[in-house]
Amino acid sequence: MRRNIVTVPIHKVFGGDSISPAQDLLAVEEPLQIRVNGRDLSITMRTPGHDGELALGFLFTEGILKTRADVLAVDCDENTVTLTLADGVDAGTARNFYTTSSCGVCGKASIESLQAAACAMLPATLRIDREIIHGLPEKLRAAQSVFEHTGGLHGAALFDTSGNLEMVREDVGRHNAVDKLIGAAFLENRLPLAASILMLSGRASFELVQKAVMAGIPVVAAVGAPSSLAVQTALRFGLTLLGFVRDGRFNIYSGLGRLSAP
């Protein structure tokens, strides 16, 4: 198994001129080549681990994959994932992507492209006790094993409507962590995730809301702020978007109807 933490020599400064040698733990960032049916599709910077899930989640949220039956094989090698797709699955319209760990494929999509992908309004029948939301950041943080050692990774987790942790993934890239979650659900034939809450350790950008819409996730909660386009997208597709979920408070940017009083 590839390492996701490395030790490096450093010097620590303690005020004034006091300097001493030490060791520090860092989250690993390495390139991952995604290949589809024998040709290169994407290079993404990521933290090693769950690479197959990352590739599947990425292709699903790009609209290339629809069901588990679309994938015949997933082969993982060092810094390479090769996907073999079923006959009739068209990856030819996909672009060649280069993604960074910080921003994913910047500007890769729009609200109009989600509409073109036939993303429907998310069902509004789900109800969640507001008190459950308050406990999600602490549960996510407690489940982030690599962050505990390095402080350098984003986390994303799926919770059920009672606030029970279903799955957590970490990565140097916010979008990679979410792709890993969605890829794992794809492998388990769980999509759409119509009864799940997506909790993010950072801010809620458009691309993360886009991925949630593609995966049918009705509620996204983030420790940080959403962007304006994230809010527009949430409103367009009926997603409940929560920001600044910390310290016993949060802001509701869309989808108030899914939250009920305790």
Percent of the residues in the chain that have a pLDDT greater than 90, as a whole number: 55
Predicted confidence at residue 181, as pLDDT, reads 97
Q: Which of 71-85, 98-112, 177-191 has the lowest mean pLDDT?
A: 98-112
Burial of 189 (0-12, 13-18, 19+ CB in 10 A): exposed
Distance between CA atoms of residues 211 and 219, nearest Å: 12
Lowest average pLDDT, out of 5-19, 57-71, 147-161, 186-200, goes to: 5-19
Q: When comparing pLDDT for 158 and 230, which is higher?
A: 158
Q: How confident is the model at residue 34 (pLDDT cuts 50, 70, 90)?
A: very high
Is 103 assigned a catalytic role? yes
- Assign 24 a pLDDT band (cuts: 50, 70, 90): confident
Residues 147-170 have a mean pLDDT of 85
On the question of pLDDT at 99 being above 70, the answer is: no
Per-residue pLDDT at 107: 41
Q: Does residue 185 come out as left (phi exceeding 0), alpha (psi in the -120 to 50 range) or beta?
A: alpha
Q: Which of 76, 103, 106, 119 is catalytic?
A: 103
Could you please state the CATH topology (level 3) that the domain comprising 30-108 is classified under: Ubiquitin-like (UB roll) (3.10.20)
Q: Which two tokens stand for residue 11?
A: 């010097």
Assess if CATH 3.50.50.60 describes domain 128-260.
no
pLDDT digits 0-9 by tens, 172-226:
888 999 999 999 999 999 999 999 999 999 999 888 999 999 999 999 999 999 9
pLDDT class of 30 with cuts at 50, 70, 90: confident
Q: Is the pLDDT of residue 95 over 70?
A: no
Instruction: Give the pLDDT score at 106.
Output: 44
| Residue boundaries of the structural domains of the chain | 30-108, 128-260
What average pLDDT does the chain have? Answer: 85
Closest by CA to 2, choosing from 157, 165, 171, is 171
Sequential DSSP letters for 7-61: EEEEEEE-STT-EEEEEEEEE--EEEEEEETTEEEEEEEE-SS-HHHHHHHHHHH
More confident residue, 226 or 108: 226
Q: pTM of the prediction?
A: 0.83
CB-CB contact of 181 with 159 (8 Å): no
CB 155 within 8 A of CB 141: yes
